[in-house]
Amino acid sequence: MTEMKIKPLLGIKDKPTTMQWITLSLQHLFAMFGSTILVPYLIGLSPAVALISSGLGTIAFLLITQFKVPAYLGSSFAFIAPVIAAKTAGGPGAAMIGTFIAGLVYGIVALIIKGAGYRWIMNILPPIVVGPVIMVIGLALASTAVNQAMYEANGTADQKYSLLYLSVALVTLLATILFTIFGKGVLSFIPILAGIIVGYVYAVIVGVVNFQGVIDAKWFSMPDFIFPFVDYDVNISMAILGLFIPVAIVTLTEHIGHQLVLGNVVGKDYIKDPGLHRSILGDGTATIISSLMGGPPKTTYGENIGVLAITKVFSVYVLGGAAVFAIIFGFIGKVTALIESIPTPVMGGVSILLFGIIASSGLRILVEAKIDFNNNRNLVIASVILVAGIGGLSLHFGDDFALEGMAFAAILGIILNLVLPGREKTKDIVAEDNSK
């Protein structure tokens, strides 16, 4: 990958003025805000802890990448299904153990890449495997979004269909779509957040929102942290390993993709310097930090890469400032209570689009890779992954080990790609393997 000559308004190591620092950092905060708080809301974790852990994780990432990579790390959508499954089976503690393991997988892969280069992982996870798995990530969550959009007391014995809830979800969905397609300026950076705000206002008008929690909340409030050995016992089971390791391996390709896109935006070869192993280690470290305090897994955010591309402000000081603001926001009780007052149909409406976009991004990978579905090999791999993942195919050995849904689908896809004849050698993503 050749480095591009781009004249930024602020270079990677340039320090902004105080006013620039505040305004530009807040812009990045708002870009990641909607998605970062949406994930914990959907999986039943604290949005405040998600904000704090995203800030700490971003700072750790900047340190590990030697302040060379201007990226922000927020909550990962890819892990929604395994976190929900782990919480259902073993409570929040099980989800945090799984999140820790996912970060550990990133760290191990980073060490291997440092010693052996990156090509091996590209051969294990070519587009024909990654694309359908990402489609499964989105489509497997479709029923979650739809149920939130339609039912009062969703997921309980008192669950009932509500036309009022559906209207809130549809208003939210329509607003989010309009902002996504027609949004200009600041709105183009935060279409999801803007859609949630419109849906929230409509929900207030029709009487769905309860403000009592906001009224009772203190301005300064300690978030609901979840600490290992204090709030839960640490027991690593085969079931948790089966849920999180396959997803962590697959999401590594998302990380690599983000680094390539970010490198093109900034005009740097991040696979070479500071190295893919450093950025993956930074991502994994952020996820481990999050797991130790009760937050969701982390990932570099495409929303913030978009902000960099539009503003031409690449300063790592600005990203660090956004991280500090996120940490501060996490301790403001009124903000947390306001987030928690968002009714489920608002989140259901925006999730219909978000989960669909995740699925569509998997389809986009297949299209951009020009996968030939006249080739029966490709047809078989994609078909097995999609049906096994969406249908919830599972493999159980006693009570201690289970591969379910997306995790099992990912493993099946990797195995089929390796054993079926006719596998093409993966093309290099850069001209020379400089990741060591």
pLDDT tens track, the chain, 436 positions: 444 456 777 888 989 888 888 888 887 887 787 778 878 978 889 989 999 999 999 999 999 999 999 999 999 888 888 898 889 888 899 999 999 999 999 999 999 999 888 778 778 888 898 888 888 877 887 887 888 889 887 666 677 888 999 999 999 999 988 988 887 776 766 677 788 889 999 999 998 888 888 888 888 888 889 999 998 888 888 888 888 988 888 788 778 878 877 887 888 888 888 999 999 999 999 999 999 999 999 998 877 787 787 678 889 999 999 999 999 989 988 887 887 788 889 888 888 887 787 788 788 888 888 889 999 999 999 999 999 988 888 777 666 566 677 778 888 998 999 999 887 765 554 433 333 3
pLDDT for 434? 38
Whether the CB-CB separation of 76 and 291 falls below 8 Å is answered with: no
Question: How many Å apart are CA 309 and CA 340, to the nearest integer?
Answer: 32
pTM attached to this predicted model: 0.76
Q: What single-letter amino acid sits at 77?
A: F
Cβ-based neighbour number of residue 94 at 10 Å: 23
Give pLDDT, residue 433: 39
368 burial type by CB count under 10 A (0-12 exposed, 13-18 middle, 19+ buried)? exposed
Rounded to whole angstroms, what are the CA distances from 49 to 4, 57, 72, 86, 262?
Answer: 38, 12, 16, 19, 27
Q: How far apart are CA 112 and CA 430, in angstroms?
A: 18
The answer as to whether 378 is a domain residue is no
Task: Return the axis-axis angle of helices 191-205 and 344-368, rounded to nearest 10°.
Answer: 150
Is 6 inside a domain boundary? no
7 part of a folded domain:
no
Element housing 282 (H / E): helix 276-291
Structural domain includes residue 309: yes
DSSP for residue 10: B
CA distances from 219 to 148, 211, 330 (A): 29, 15, 11
Structural domains in the chain (count)? 1
Question: Which position has the token pair 């700490």?
Answer: 56
The answer to whether position 392 is within a domain reads: no
Q: What is the domain range of residue 246?
A: 18-370
Any domain includes 141: yes
In 225-301, beta strands by DSSP E: 298-300
Position 388 in a domain = no
Residue 417 lies in a domain: no
